[in-house]
A = this chain, B = another copy of it.
Amino acid sequence: MATEKWVFMVTAQTPTNIAVIKYWGKRDEARILPVNDSISVTLDPDHLCTVTTVAVSPAFDRDRMWLNGKEISLSGSRYQNCLREIRSRAGDVEDKEKGITIGKKDWEKLHLHIASHNNFPTAAGLASSAAGFACLVFSLAKLMNVDEDPSHLSAIARQGSGSACRSLFGGFVKWTMGSKEDGSDSVAVQLADEKHWDDLVIIIAVVSSQQKETSSTSGMRESVETSLLLQHRAKEVVPKRILQMEEAIKNRDFASFTQLTCTDSNQFHAVCLDTSPPIFYMNDTSHRIISLVEKWNRSEGTPQVAYTFDAGPNAVLIARNRKVAVQLLQGLLYYFPPKSDTDMKSYVVGDNSILKEAGLDGASGVENLQPPPEIKDNIGSQDQKGEVSYFICTRPGKGPIVLQDQTQALLDPETGLPK
């Protein structure tokens, strides 16, 4: 190892994911081992992702981390577990250009700087910890030349945040609960990549909420301890649904996919309600969005849109194709119009080229929208202004990548401090 004050770094980007068969409940709190398998769709990192730069330098005197520009503590066991596991697998690294050589054993003595940034609000309840821990583990594995496939890395990311293991892959991903006590077989595997079913369009309604929410960590612990329905769900219901969902994805069977996605989301929230004290993640706006989708699906005779809700009120809506997504967005904007001073391009973000297709790129577009016929009678009028903060239009996306463009690094290549 050279003694000069070099900084060696890697920047990576990792997607977030949304579970369509839910993870709720751990059988081992420390190792983060779940009570059932889960399946997720990876969301396009162009619209929702975490970017993390990890750096190593003999000049660093301790491990440090900055999240969205603010320094945070790495002392928690979740960070420590990930750092320990990755360090123990570190390999030899050589950068001839810079004249840097790091031997396998040097990593124990070297300190790290980590800077991480989400391109979406952390507080929006959009699985920021999933993308975050996946990106931490992925970028460190690249930095330290860890010779492990993504499934092995997923078992490390899992120890940071359970659902993070599913963000190591693009497309459709299964987290197998495993049976070993040490958790080594509790890993994510890819069911199909993002090209396999590229008709799907995903619209996320970020729902406004005053309520302080129960964190998913404490929520699922309380469910395991008190819900009399959770074990029945985990043992009797989910195993069958996992097989059915794998089939539905394999066959691009949107009707089955929707039926499984919606019922599983509802059952997860049912278990939350069966917890003592009960946990409410969905609110009246979430319920209104479900009613809207359910009525539309029934009126069409065949499912057009699937919905799923994580540990918060935001709706993740999966439309069977672009045409349906355009109609869906029109319906959503009819019922949840922006406040009058809101620019449409900041109300519909992500892939907002959809606005033009929906005839909503102009200022007066929303006011001219007509109510979808099947739901006219039930949701009175446009009095839901302000219930949705904004919409994100996205699609199934790819897994983690290294960003080669040094301008995207979050740490200064000279000082190793945030730019």
Contacts and interface: CB of A to CB of B under 8 A. Distances in A.
Nearest to A265: B278
A266 B294 contact: no
A284 interface: yes
Contacts of A274: 263, 266-267, 270
A237 interface: yes
Nearest to A266: B278
A271 interface: yes
A233 interface: yes
A287 B271 CA distance: 15
Interface string A272-299: 0111111010011001001100100010
B267 A229 contact: yes
A380 B210 CA distance: 9
A291 B210 CA distance: 13
A290 B278 contact: yes
A273 B276 contact: no
Interface string A365-397: 000000000000010100000000000000000
Contacts of A276: 259, 262-263, 266
Contacts of A236: 228, 232
Given A210-B380, A229-B270, A267-B229, A287 B294 contact: no
A228 B267 contact: yes
A70 interface: no
Nearest to A259: B276
A243 to B, nearest CB: 15
A269 interface: yes
A378 B269 contact: no
A248 to B, nearest CB: 16
Contacts of A212: 378
Contacts of A270: 229, 270-271, 273-274
Given A228-B237, A378-B212, A273 B284 contact: no
Contact of A284 (B228, B266, B283, B291): B283
Copies in the complex: 2
Given A210-B380, A229-B232, A280 B271 contact: no
Interface string A199-224: 00000000000111000000000000
Contacts of A278: 266, 290, 294
Contacts of A237: 228-229
Contacts of A271: 270
Contact of A280 (B229, B233, B287, B380): B287
B277 A273 contact: no
A302 to B, nearest CB: 15
A267 to B, nearest CB: 5
Interface in A109-135: none
Interface string A246-272: 000000000000010011001101110
Interface in A35-80: none
Contact of A269 (B263, B273, B380): B273
Nearest to A272: B270
B273 A266 contact: yes
Contacts of A232: 229, 232, 236
A291 B267 CA distance: 21
A2 to B, nearest CB: 54
Given A266-B273, A277-B291, 15 more contacts: A210-B380, A228-B237, A229-B270, A232-B232, A262-B276, A263-B276, A266-B275, A266-B276, A266-B278, A269-B273, A273-B273, A277-B290, A278-B290, A280-B290, A284-B284
5 contacts: A226-B263, A232-B232, A266-B273, A277-B298, A283-B287
